Amino acid sequence: MDTAAVDRFRELLRIPTVSHAEPASSDGAQLVRFREAVRRLYPRLHDELEYETVGEHAMLYRWRGHASDASLVLMAHYDVVPVVPGEWMHPPFDAVLAGEGEETTIHARGAIDDKGSLVAILEAVEALVGEGWRPARDVYLAFGHDEEVAGLGAPAIVEVLRSRGVRPALVLDEGGAVVSGAVPGVDVETAMIGVAERGVMTLGLTAREAGGHASTPPPLPATARLARAIDRLHRHPAPMRLVPPVRAMFRTLAPFAREPFRSIFTNLSVTGALLARALPRFGAETNALVRTTAVVTELDGADGENVLATAARAAVNIRLLTGDSVAAATERARRAIADPRIEIEVRHGSDPSPVSPWRGEGWRRIATAVGSALGEDVVATPYLQLGASDSRWFTAICENVYRFAPFRLTASEREALHAHDERIRVHVWLRGIEFYRDLLRLS
């Protein structure tokens, strides 16, 4: 085990760079502390690479290569989501090491999302600089500080690069991982490389009434009207369909699938509609691959338990499948709710990202690094990323934007993202460093 690298990782995990929906609740001093620690822990990198802070806290490095065209951008973010400490097995910002041998695990918020990738990138670059290696073409390291709240860091970096005429040949951000058994009928290890990501939007639903005392409620109070609207929305989900990135995933994995899945994946022109209808039965992840999803995440009513709400509100988080749009999803919700007295407002939204190619030089470089660093038996496959990331901003300046974190993750480790007991096995994280080293050497 590379004890020094692990110690640096743990030190950065201990800095609580938490993003909150309300900017005033976020602690900018912790972001400054993190950047200062990075500078101290990676001196060779800072001696060789040009660094600037973009906006208030985003980090941008330029590693000059022998040529400046067709550059590589490695992305990550150093903010993390909030925690409820009492839910954790170990304190979330202590970066506790637990277990033995290959089960030695670092428990910490951000261990995977996304300081795991960020620090692995830093380790790879620091080592290569120490060896005197220089890339053939420019490399940029772009680290956002507010990805978890869809903030301004990454867009600001994109604008800086655009203003300087930078058009990267390849961008790689967080995303899918190396997994087993995530696709029905496929038992081999697969590197799930996101070639696109779903759009994200939030609808606000509001039901209003005159209010008054709870002892004399009207026939359909605002809370009941809102509940009915939510139920209607839930009972009318978006239609199921196989979009191009998902079709490409199944076709890629068909040779490695057992029957009858091999035949189904091989003949999607015939079986595609049937497969789309069947996938939701395999779980939440496969359901999200074939439809736009909508879920109510926030509810708000009266200020007191004996008071009628003058306004009952709900927030609906919607993730848009490739080919869908904010406008279409809003109209679909309006038709499903079918109540003109429910106010529907788009609080914010962005359409699904463009689809990057799963052939060509950019894809080949990532797939080659997967094979060399993570194992020749790992199958690199295109994948539709279910969550949103900062990478969507980079599609404005690059046609080859991919989403992949080079870590072997179990189902329970993936489930801990944005939940309690986030963790990563040490040997898995160290292998991730090798992936970034190999990818950089291919640049």
Task: Report, as residue numbers or ranges, the catalytic residues.
Answer: 79, 147
At 339 the three-state DSSP class reads coil
Nearest to 394 by CA among 202, 135, 197: 197
- Determine contact, residues 109/93, Cβ cutoff 8 Å: yes
C-alpha gyration radius of the chain: 23
Own/partner pairs, 87-95, CB within 8 angstroms, 24+ separation: 87/420, 87/421, 88/420, 88/421, 89/420, 89/421, 90/421, 92/420, 92/422, 93/13, 93/14, 93/15, 93/16, 94/14, 95/9, 95/10, 95/11, 95/13, 95/14
Distance CA(47)–CA(45), nearest Å, equals: 5
Kindly state the greatest CA–CA separation across the chain: 79
Structure-token match 């963790």, residue found: 423
- For residue 52, the tally of other CB atoms under 10 A from its CB is 11
